Amino acid sequence: MTGHIVTESGISSGIVGKTIKNTITLALKGENITSDKLRDSISAFYDFIDEVSAQVSGTMKPVKWIVTVKHGSILLLNNPVVKEEYIDVIEKTVDALHYGITNLENKTERPAYFTDKALELLQNLVSVSSARGDELTEINIAINGDYHVLTTRIAANIDTIMGIRYKSLGSVEGKLQTISERGGLKFTIYDTLDDRPVRCYISDDLRSEALDVAAKAFGQRISIFGMISYDQYGTPKIIQVRKLRLFREKEDIPSAEQICGILGE
């Protein structure tokens, strides 16, 4: 897919005569945008919007997104529809997104309504364009026409807010207990040492391999190698996965006697 992809969210009340002109636009720039990049960026974008909207309203998914594809262009028009009791959620959500992203461009302070989940989803969106490869070079979010380029500075500020102190290559072992494709493929494993969760983000080039491992390893121990983000206590919190390995079950490991038999001794 070549060129620019623009996803524009025009927010309306869904009530005749009560349209509120707030817009949220997602713009993806690149010469060869792959289907994986398109899927991951749009998924992370809407998950992020939904999370902030849920925090503003106090209820899950107060807004329903109605998508229209314009003829002759790669343009998705999203018209959210809400019940009348949630009409005030629209402007509050747009304001929260505008001020939140603006603050994250320059500050290391948690914006209002930006939970850890929202921050991670926004960071995921940043990582789609900053990952290896040149097919998707830039992601912008425009709110009421005010464009914000999602840069690594935003990702670094999110790290600080979430208590990430340093990163290094390494391995984590744990039991695979959560698999999700919302906002990009990711696992959660529980560390073998202290049973703490470690969130594992999977790049596009590892998707097929990771899903194959996950099908075999759910509920079992696996080893994951990649760039690990640690908190101030040296506890691994997040890992950008580069390699995965499934541990064999104890009953599948040959005994010393079996090994001797295999060797003919």
Residue-by-residue DSSP string for 173-225: EEEEEEEE-TTS-EEEEEETTT--EEEEE--GGGHHHHHHHHHHHTTSEEEEE
Residue 190 structural domain: 165-248
| Domain identity same for 28 and 88 | yes
**Alpha carbons 104 and 125: distance in angstroms, whole number:** 14
Model pTM above 0.85: no
Residue that finishes a domain, picked among 130, 161, 192: 161
What angle do the packed helices 116-130 and 35-57 form, to 10 degrees?
160
| Domain identity same for 124 and 170 | no
Residue that finishes a domain, picked among 161, 187, 214: 161
The answer to whether the CB of 49 falls within 8 A of the CB of 60 is no
Q: Would residue 231 count as lying in a domain? A: yes
pLDDT of residue 13: 37
Residue 179: both structure tokens together: 């698999």
Alpha helices in 85-145 (DSSP H): 87-106, 116-130
**Alpha carbons 218 and 185: distance in angstroms, whole number:** 15
Residues of the chain with pLDDT below 50 are 1-5, 11-20, 71-75, 252-254, 258-259, 262-263
- Total domain count for the chain? 2
pLDDT of residue 133: 58
pLDDT tens profile 8-31: 555 443 433 343 466 787 888 877
| Domain identity same for 157 and 172 | no
Residue 106: both structure tokens together: 């320059």
β-strand partners of 87? none
**Alpha carbons 57 and 61: distance in angstroms, whole number:** 9
Residue (of 166, 161, 234, 139) closest to 196 by Cα position: 234
Q: Would residue 190 count as lying in a domain? A: yes
